[in-house]
Amino acid sequence: MIPTGLLGGSFNPAHGGHRAISLNAIDALGLDELWWLVSPGNPLKPNAGMASLPARLASARHMARRSPIRATGIEAELGTRYTIDTLKLLVRRYPDRQFIWIMGADNLVQLPQWRDWRGIARLMPIAVVARPGYNDRAHARRAMGWLRRFVRPADQKLHWTDWRPPALVFLRFSPDVRSATAIRQANPRWFERYEGRALRDPLTRSRLADPIRKGRI
């Protein structure tokens, strides 16, 4: 089995903070690869200010270069909208891989709003990356009321492939304050350098054309 991390997000745009967290997680968890699941759309985020999927995927591919990170838009091909559905299909499609879901402490705060969030925890282990300003709230929220019993010691994190889910481990790295919001505020037209590209997805090998060029939004 190939130990593989999964990190989902809008990547609007991908930035050095995503890369740093991912490389740290690869090292901390002993991963062969980490996949960035660039979402076609997040039901919990507004569409306003969201760049096209090809532009966001291109920014992720650029940021992931020369690393064990693979940026993919596979959710668009799978036709899934919710994390639980994506993860179920990935487990079926890639039986040679053992997955761990990686999320920031900010997402743990929102986790009870996700569809079948307990099902996610039952499907694969979860690694939560500490983020400044969110860690205390994450521990206090309703998700931890159920997940607390499944928390594993951080010093056992390299043995996650032996864990039977639900299993949760907290990872703490040097704080990284970079954010996509700050990048968009500094450069609202950041996506223009990536638009108009047709990319071949590293997992599906299909080409993802820019929907703007096809008259869609």
Partners of 103 in the beta sheet? 128
DSSP state at residue 40: S
Given this model, what pLDDT does residue 44 score? 55
Q: Does residue 214 have a pLDDT over 50?
A: no
Q: Per-residue pLDDT tens for 58-104? A: 999 999 999 999 999 999 889 998 999 999 999 999 999 999 999 98
Residue 198 burial (C-beta neighbours within 10 Å; 0-12, 13-18, 19+): exposed
Torsion sign over Cα 19, 171, 75, 161? positive
**Looking at the whole model, is its pTM more than 0.85?**
yes
Going by C-alpha positions, the residue among 120, 101, 104 that lies closest to residue 112 is 120
pLDDT bracket for residue 212 (50, 70, 90): very low
Q: What span, in angstroms and rounded, lies between the C-alpha atoms of 115 and 82?
A: 7
Going by C-alpha positions, the residue among 62, 75, 50 that lies closest to residue 193 is 62
Partners of 198 in the beta sheet? none
Going by C-alpha positions, the residue among 117, 89, 88 that lies closest to residue 103 is 117
Torsion sign over Cα 93, 168, 119, 40? negative
Domain range 2-176, CATH architecture: 3-Layer(aba) Sandwich (3.40)
| Pairwise pLDDT comparison (183 vs 176), residue with the higher score | 183
| Pairwise pLDDT comparison (53 vs 216), residue with the higher score | 53
Determine how many CB atoms are found less than 10 A away from the CB of residue 72: 22
Q: Are 158 and 27 in contact (CB under 8 A)?
A: no
Q: Are 5 and 100 in contact (CB under 8 A)?
A: yes
**Mean pLDDT over each residue of the chain, to the nearest integer:** 87
Q: Per-residue pLDDT tens for 145-175? A: 999 999 999 999 999 999 999 999 999 988 7
Given this model, what pLDDT does residue 101 score? 98
Q: Are 45 and 71 in contact (CB under 8 A)?
A: no
| Number of residues assigned to the chain | 217
Q: Does residue 181 have a pLDDT over 70?
A: yes
